[in-house]
Structure 1
């Protein structure tokens, strides 16, 4: 027999009075603090205070240990393989969240805000930054892109949700949140530093025994700032045997920046012009600071008071 259907009367949905209790333990705010900085520079706390933000990080974080690697090999006729190189791979971090609210409206607002913070990496075409602090003050960060997790799970998405995010990190290494800065100023004829505690850079001789210690687990790639007056600059890492020479006339206060922090290094002049051709190719090597002690020397030709060389870098580490 036909069923009677009431036309025009929507079904009544009674929401639960409170979200189910998540039995998984959470990180004690005194143990770690984690934040997400979206591509627009807005910072979101991920670990508390929970009542203020309406979300928290649960215990199943994964993928923040040793940097992933793969072995590149060549097969041998006699059997087995020969190791060609070890390749550093990108990393994927799993970051589980619990988002909650006292009403559906409150929950939706929190969920949408946090989801947008991560999915902006897609629309902005820029990564965000995941940062983790420990109770002793140590902090490390890693650039990441949202990959998955906000798809929605059955039985959730009314007053609570437990998205488990997958964050794709092109550089598998973590980095120190504090930059290390090294600056060397030109000194007049005495060759002594006029701006303590910086060492001098002489226009007539090389400075030996200048030591830079990289505390990271792997090499650190610097951003160089060269300020004139100068006609050429030679920077040598004697520990690795690498050096580069930049030949370009700089007036007083004019700046050249050499950025080696990305896979596509750049050299920019005072007007933003491309000065890659001012390096002495093919001899030039834009060198990194290797793990541990680096003995470096700098030389500025045509320098005068006011000229200096500065490099900044983030030490990089295997794990958080």
Structure 2
């Protein structure tokens, strides 16, 4: 069955260890905050009755984790508490690990809790019960497996290999339609990887939002456009954001199946465009 896992860069707690090993850290019944995030709405009130809905945004989510810590003795319990305290001092990742090994995760920071009543929650010898609250600035859960679609220049006549668009293009151009399938319930952000040679890379969503990078890549050079962070860098780590055309719209992939178009000029058969994204969800179970 699915299990929760809390981890940092240096440590990992499988939150079902007491159930399986009799020692470790166990998430107890009563975990909250795994469902829909809170929503902040905007309304326009006029002179008449009621108000008109203007928009909304999902707010950060707070997750309450009731925890049971168990060691074989006082020394082991103290070690578990120290590890937990060190982990919660920085950014952590909370994962819901599925039976197949894939997971949904979100980045969290400790914001409250961790107290206990001596003589009730622990006697200081072997075990302890407490509740910690962590906050996820990004309210969505991101899937561990990514999905990729690739466009290459296959030579004269056609520019797309794989999910083929029926269009005639120049032998020096890679262009095509990419089928974007987001199995989540929240927008996913594509990561574009462009391999040169080529110039003037363009990506346009199904609803006409798009951006154009007006720079040039030599053979073997790579451009990466991260639509979530807004980073545009080449394979040497140089910032190439300034080469985006005016008013770029780094669009996201909505839930469901949509199509996007992408193109790159002055290409060879070594050139390619790869779109990679990971589904995201608003709630997990």
Normalising by structure 1, what TM-score?
0.79
Quote how far apart the aligned CAs of 1:64 are. Answer: 0.5
Quote how far apart the aligned CAs of 1:219 are. Answer: 1.3
- Contact 2:224/2:232 (<8 A) preserved: yes
- Show the counterpart of 1:8: none
- Show the counterpart of 2:127: 160
In 1, Cα distance between equivalents of 2:170 and 2:6: 44
Unaligned runs of 5+ in 1: 1-30, 122-126
- Show the counterpart of 2:272: 308
Describe the SS at the equivalent of 1:86. Answer: strand
In 2, Cα distance between equivalents of 1:78 and 1:241: 36
Matched, 1:295 2:259: yes
- Contact 1:186/1:202 (<8 A) preserved: no
In 2, Cα distance between equivalents of 1:226 and 1:313: 15
Which structure has the highest strand share of the two? 2
In 2, Cα distance between equivalents of 1:136 and 1:273: 38
In 2, Cα distance between equivalents of 1:84 and 1:192: 42
Normalising by structure 2, what TM-score?
0.88
Quote how far apart the aligned CAs of 1:136 are. Answer: 6.3
Matched, 1:63 2:63: no
Quote how far apart the aligned CAs of 1:48 are. Answer: 2.2
In 2, Cα distance between equivalents of 1:93 and 1:277: 39
Q: Could you tell me which of 256, 260, 281 is aligned with 1:317?
A: 281
- Show the counterpart of 2:92: 128
Quote how far apart the aligned CAs of 1:213 are. Answer: 1.4
Quote how far apart the aligned CAs of 1:71 are. Answer: 1.5
In 1, Cα distance between equivalents of 2:268 and 2:227: 26
- Show the counterpart of 2:147: 180
- Show the counterpart of 1:268: 233
Matched, 1:150 2:114: yes
Q: Is the deviation greater in 240-249 or in 75-84?
A: 75-84
Describe the SS at the equivalent of 2:184. Answer: coil
Specify whether residues 319 and 260 from structure 1 end up closer, same or farther in structure 2 by C-alpha distance, changes over 3 A only.
Answer: same
Describe the SS at the equivalent of 1:178. Answer: coil
In 2, Cα distance between equivalents of 1:108 and 1:285: 51
In 2, Cα distance between equivalents of 1:157 and 1:273: 56
Could you report, residue by residue, the CA deviation over 1:2-36 in whole angstroms, capped at 9, with x for unpaired residues? xxxxxxxxxxxxxxxxxxxxxxxxxxxxx322211
- Contact 1:187/1:202 (<8 A) preserved: no
Could you report, residue by residue, the CA deviation over 1:144-164 in whole angstroms, capped at 9, with x for unpaired residues? 111122234332261321121
Quote how far apart the aligned CAs of 1:217 are. Answer: 0.9
Bigger-Rg structure (1/2): 1
Specify whether residues 268 and 192 from structure 1 end up closer, same or farther in structure 2 by C-alpha distance, changes over 3 A only.
Answer: closer
- Show the counterpart of 2:68: 98
Describe the SS at the equivalent of 2:262. Answer: strand
In 1, Cα distance between equivalents of 2:225 and 2:162: 24
Aligned residues: 277
Describe the SS at the equivalent of 2:88. Answer: helix
Quote how far apart the aligned CAs of 1:209 are. Answer: 4.3
Matched, 1:240 2:207: yes
Unaligned runs of 5+ in 2: none
Could you report, residue by residue, the CA deviation over 1:96-117 in whole angstroms, capped at 9, with x for unpaired residues? 1101223211210122112322
In 1, Cα distance between equivalents of 2:226 and 2:123: 45
- Contact 1:67/1:172 (<8 A) preserved: yes
Describe the SS at the equivalent of 2:106. Answer: strand
**CA RMSD for the aligned pairs?**
2.3
Specify whether residues 95 and 109 from structure 1 end up closer, same or farther in structure 2 by C-alpha distance, changes over 3 A only.
Answer: same
In 1, Cα distance between equivalents of 2:61 and 2:250: 26
Describe the SS at the equivalent of 1:95. Answer: strand
Q: Could you tell me which of 222, 225, 231 is aligned with 2:199?
A: 231
In 2, Cα distance between equivalents of 1:87 and 1:55: 35
